[in-house]
Amino acid sequence: MGIAVQLKNMTKKFGPVTANSNINLSIEERTIHAIVGENGAGKSTLSKIIYGMYRPTAGRISIRGREMRFGSPREAIRAGIGMVHQHFMLVPELTVTENIMLGNEHAWLFGKLPLKIMRGVIMEEAGKSGFSIDPDATTGSLCVGEEQRVELLKLLCHNASILILDEPTAVLTPSETDRLFEILRSLKAKGKTIILITHKLDEVLAVADTVSVMRKGEIVATMPAASVTKPELAAMMVGRNVMLRVENPPSTPGKSVLVVNALGLRTEQGKQKLDGLSFSISAGEIYGIAGVEGNGQSELLQLLWGLVPHGFRISGDASLNGISVIGKKPGEIAAMGASHIPENRHRHAVILDYPVSDNLFFGRHREPLFHNGFGFSRKSIEENTRKLVSDFDIRCDNPAHQTLGSLSGGNQQKVVLARELNRPGISFLILAQPTRGVDIGAVETIHKKIIDARMKGIAILLVSSELEEIIALSTRIGCLYNGTIRREFSLEETAMKRGDENRFRREIGLHIT
């Protein structure tokens, strides 16, 4: 096989920051080549150079032996390169056919390829690729797996032979992921070259022929995927051995802490977001909510933390330690023994321009511990900072002066976790997307702290888009679909099924789609 893409001494700088440093990489034709690395390792920058979105600072790129200098994605597309971005680039109000025509509408609509003919081209290409898609459906009416297939069809209809997929399974269910892998294998068999950007190591080993590992902007290793294990890949990504699955001791639940009973939530326009939702969480257990994003997770979190938008109508009840939280403000709910780690930490949990020490103190300023009778006790605040930085392994040089925004995503999340788990009298933790945007090395620390909190008797509601995380941490699992629990896995079932994670993932997938 020949070389589809070759990078020689490729470097990309953004001002003083070097995102890619002296990259040398060869990607063979008709293979699936995965590029893995921690957040900030330079994977996305590299893929955008290949796709023409960025111009390299130095180095050369060759496509099938011909040196190229792309000034834009349009030039890369002409060279047979296409990219499916992590966040899909579809217009929801347009049909599948119209979305696929975007970018070439002038050539197609005015002489060469009218809409009706393009529809036939799409149907033909979909049939050859094994896709099932309605060319007349609006993309806003499709599920995420179908949207992704539209993005792939768009590339194929534009005659792309080199396909770049950036985190393609981030929003897919297990069954949709399996279907995507079938499609990728089929496309490879038809002669396509696929570059897969991902952080999910199980998927790399399942579908890739070759894997390259990036760390701190450099390629540190390239090898056949069949010759490496998941722990070895993780160690290469981080530079040390990583515990991929933390020990999760058996749970002995205590008294009931949170009770959600027939909870309903309807928007001002009448759209049902939660529909008869019922579940409970006891002290010392983690209740995991599994489901495709957009099925009511965000609305449930808002309701439990007193942030329901004005005009929404609530039915049913949710009570914490026997007292309803409906209609209460976040401060009142916190005073009842609740703590909250939101799904978007930058928007709702931290202030990036403030020092680390201040962010470890926010929301706890009314606690007597931090007062000395005349104002805040700087001594107490400094002691609290030192303790939490040490206990949670927060990597920073000077927490009193270093801004939170200067830390990595993993260390930012550790700051939020440390603050919220150390509130006095906490009995209930709302935990949303705890490792989103977090480096694989920091995931280990965060998971250990979550399990430690459970072992101390805290009741935890875990909402995560990472199904592996739900399975690894939860003592019970509820499958959320269209605002209601479609299936609940008991304490015994979850413990038993965790031993065969792949089968468990598929079983959960049946109930969240």
What the chain holds in terms of domains, given with CATH numbers, is 3-238 (3.40.50.300), 256-511 (3.40.50.300)
401 phi/psi in degrees, rounded to 5: -125, -25
pLDDT tier for residue 175 given thresholds of 50, 70 and 90 = confident
The pLDDT assigned to 85 comes to: 84
Q: Does residue 116 surpass a pLDDT of 80?
A: no
Average pLDDT across the chain, whole number: 88
pLDDT tier for residue 109 given thresholds of 50, 70 and 90 = very low
pLDDT tier for residue 113 given thresholds of 50, 70 and 90 = low
In angstroms, rounded to a whole number, what is the distance separating the alpha carbons of residues 221 and 154? 32
In angstroms, rounded to a whole number, what is the distance separating the alpha carbons of residues 183 and 125? 13
H helices within 102-173, ranges in order?
Answer: 105-107, 115-129, 144-157
Q: Report which DSSP code applies to 15.
A: T
Q: What order of strands is seen across the sheet that includes strand 58-63? A: 17-28, 3-14, 58-63, 66-68
Q: Report which DSSP code applies to 251.
A: P
CA 394 to the chain's CA centroid: 22
Q: Which helix (H) or strand (E) holds 481?
A: strand 476-481
Tallying the residues shown for the chain, one arrives at 513
78 phi/psi in degrees, rounded to 5: -65, -25
Residue 52 backbone class (left: φ over 0; alpha: ψ -120 to 50; beta: rest): left
Cα dihedral: 317, 250, 175, 144 (round 10): 40
The pLDDT assigned to 176 comes to: 76
Cα of first residue to Cα of last residue in the chain, in angstroms, is 40
What is the average pLDDT across 360-380? 82
478 phi/psi in degrees, rounded to 5: -110, 130
pLDDT tier for residue 139 given thresholds of 50, 70 and 90 = confident
In angstroms, rounded to a whole number, what is the distance separating the alpha carbons of residues 215 and 208? 19
The pLDDT assigned to 110 comes to: 45
Q: Where are the beta strands (DSSP E) in 323-445?
A: 323-324, 338-341, 428-432
The pLDDT assigned to 105 comes to: 55
In angstroms, rounded to a whole number, what is the distance separating the alpha carbons of residues 413 and 435? 8
Q: Copy the structure tokens of residue 465.
A: 């888009």
**Residue 376 or residue 259, greater confidence:** 259
pLDDT tier for residue 111 given thresholds of 50, 70 and 90 = very low
What is the average pLDDT across 310-323? 94
Q: Considering only CA atoms, which of 246, 245, 220, 218 is closest in space to residue 233? A: 220
In angstroms, rounded to a whole number, what is the distance separating the alpha carbons of residues 308 and 328? 10
Residue 177 backbone class (left: φ over 0; alpha: ψ -120 to 50; beta: rest): alpha
Q: Considering only CA atoms, which of 69, 85, 63, 68 is closest in space to residue 162? A: 63
Reduce the DSSP state of residue 138 to 3 states and report it.
Answer: strand
In angstroms, rounded to a whole number, what is the distance separating the alpha carbons of residues 483 and 479? 10
Q: Residue 101 corresponds to which amino acid? A: M
Buried b vs exposed e over 348-376: b needs ≥16 C-beta within 10 Å? bbbeeeebbbbbbbebbeeeeebeeeeee
The pLDDT assigned to 37 comes to: 86
CB neighbour list of residue 368: distance below 8 Å, 6 or more residues apart:
none
Q: Does residue 103 surpass a pLDDT of 90?
A: no
Reduce the DSSP state of residue 199 to 3 states and report it.
Answer: coil
Q: Copy the structure tokens of residue 17.
A: 């920051």
What is the average pLDDT across 382-386? 90
Burial class, 39, CB count within 10 angstroms (exposed 0-12 / middle 13-18 / buried 19+): middle
